[in-house]
Amino acid sequence: MKSAYELAMERLQKKDVDAGIEHKPLTDAQKAAIAEIRNFYESKLAEVQVLHEGKLREMFDPSEQAARMDEYRRDRERLTSERDAKIAKARLSAATGRG
């Protein structure tokens, strides 16, 4: 007997086929590219965090600290957005056949 999960996955796959959605597995090159993107942005985010914490320790004015926190949030959001866009582009190249 199949589990409820397996039945649900089969229904979803059937819906995709009916809708004309084709799923192509990622190639090894695309998996490597995505891993490289993730590693790069993980290190950039860590760098931004370390720099932020260092600067925050030197500040005593609450308004300066608040401004620094806002800047740090913007930097994290920008880097996360860039990472996600590059990963989506790498995944899209799998669907379109472009490498």
How does pLDDT run across 17-40, given as a tens digit for each residue? 888 877 778 899 999 999 999 999
| 53 torsion bin: left (phi>0), alpha (psi -120 to 50), beta (else) | alpha
Q: Are 84 and 34 in contact (CB under 8 A)?
A: no
Q: Are 58 and 49 in contact (CB under 8 A)?
A: no
| 20 torsion bin: left (phi>0), alpha (psi -120 to 50), beta (else) | left
Segment 36-77, tens digit of pLDDT: 999 999 999 999 999 999 999 999 999 999 999 999 999 999
d(CA 57, CA 50): 11
Single pTM value for the model = 0.71
Identify the pLDDT of residue 78.
97
- Region 71-97: mean pLDDT is 89
d(CA 90, CA 85): 9
Identify the pLDDT of residue 17.
83
Angle at 67 between CA 65 and CA 72, to 5 degrees: 90
